[in-house]
Chain A
Amino acid sequence: MKKASIIMIIGALLLSGLFWFPLWNIMLGAPQYPEPLGIDIYIDGLAGQSEFDIQNIDGLNHYIGMKTLPKPEDMWEFQVFPIVIGIMTALGVLAGILGYFGKIGANWFLGWLILMTVLGILGMYDFNAWMIDYGTNLDPNAIMKLQNPDGTPMTYKPPLIGHKQLLNFDAYSYPRLGGYLMGVGMLLTLVAYLVGIKKKNKVPSS
């Protein structure tokens, strides 16, 4: 159980990488943008991949009537996400410590992972909902009002993950370092649970 608890602590700590590194990234490349514009998504706000990318994406988006990209104060998520991640990191570390001293069993690790997974799915759902709003809730006086071949108004939601063609832009949406660290961390907590269970089955008294 000690080994499992240490893995649990490491896994939970990897989550805190989100305070320093972006969770997600959306890149926008076009013929006239050979160096693509990029948005790094942090848990507490958006940042340009290069310094002026946010401003330049907003400048381009005004043609199709998209809202400007949110500042940290514009979305409650950017206040709540850091608190959630902070609490989950602390809970995970606490579970690991308690496990280390034999106060709790490995099932608590699984419990943490299930909670984190639920929160993660909620986060992704929220992120996707924001992108739908951002990409479809367009200014009716937009300079360019384009239609799909079937006559419906064209929308510009970036992909949740992967590639999508948006007019002349190729949009790519993928996790970044913070997101990968979170994934590895969550995987480690699963490993912690499995290791803990195995030990428990072998030495029931521990």
Chain B
Amino acid sequence: MTQNANAPVVTLTEAAKHFGAVRALDGVDLSVAPGDCVGLVGHNGAGKSTLVNLINGSFAPSSGQVAFPGGAAGVRSVFQELSLCPNLTVAENLRISHPGLKGPGWRRPARAEICAALDAVFPGHGIAADAEVDTLSIAERQMVEIAIGFAPRGGQARLVILDEPTSALDAGIADQLLAHVKRFCAQGGAVIFISHMLGEIFEVATRIVVLKDGRIVAERPAAGFTRQGLVDAMGHVATEEAAREAESRPPPGAVVIAAEGIEARRGEIVGLSGLAGHGQAAALARLYLSQSSDWRAGRAPRAVFVAGDRPRDGVLPLWSILRNITASILPRDARRGMVDRDRERTVAEEWKRRIGIRTDDLSNPILSLSGGNQQKVLFARALASDAPVVVMDDPMRGVDVGTKQDVYAMIRAEAAAGRTFLWYSTETEEVCQCDRVFVFRNHAISAELAGDQITEERILQASFEMQEAS
């Protein structure tokens, strides 16, 4: 396939990717040669996905180079978010990434190829090539996706990027995959293996690359890492400041909310942590919905919600800033069902000042604001109410550093005044501001940390599967 069997499959030179001011990837040098199995680890937002997208061509680098000395053919990605078409059969899904299959009767070679690929990776898989994907379990879909990644597809797979391939697989199937990855690399293939299961990384990787804040902070042969050393290399400590602030607040009071295995006291800031997509956001939404009603809205709601996914969960796009701020306090300030518009404006003006929403006129449309300022509006909407519990679903996305500090201070002040905060964040630094932290793994709480226990290392330990891949 390649002119030179030992030339790297892909070489990144000072590759960087910026999204506006955000440096998702900040100058990365990496080379993957045939036979390499690179284990890629790092916390959420470290830049792993951006790196993958640079290699598979989804993004062009903002600066630096991504070079394929032997051509880009044979570079495949297998994503954790299943990307199969559910209404097509297994064999038809192979066709999508295999343009060589055409003409009448293309389904027969497609069936043969996908069966061979599945047999090679997962012997005894029991998946029929004619099964429609939506009749398969999540694990089976992931297996099909992996098999398509390794299938010849009219050429040969040279580099397969596996992004959390085992999160949906049970241990036995995962072992089959790991064994196949080792075979594949021994035969001269290259793999980039991303996983939060450190045991798997140590089992298959010949080399481990640690990403943090868009940079490679460590790159060594797998034997050069210990498990603890790897966790330490991923994280960083930023808790001292938060610990000092916490001391100035009164001790928490009685339990005000207990649901979904989460318990929170009056005046307490409770964090939800763990890796993204492990059930924190869903648990928070269920918890909030259980505290409010589809049918009634009282003058004094028990809880309010601050959305992080603004377009989906928060912003009312046709409305002015003013109406967006007061959306949750309408019943409280109403007189006989009618909105008190003077009072509404007074409240909104006060919160514009307190939280610093940058606008000349609150009657401007909400969409005239930047993302960070829209987020401030959503904070104002929640804090303007008298609800004793404030539920926050990763509310700092797209918020600049200065605003973050303002909002942290406001949250601490409100907590000191007796409000309870439930705060899901993907940023460990924010979680370290909390009094108590529940760490989620696989849609269940894997650890409860309090006080001095809240350190980045402890959270990471609880987030990652630490046991050996058996």
Q: Do A and B interact with each other, yes or no? A: no
Binding site for B on A (CB under 8 A): none
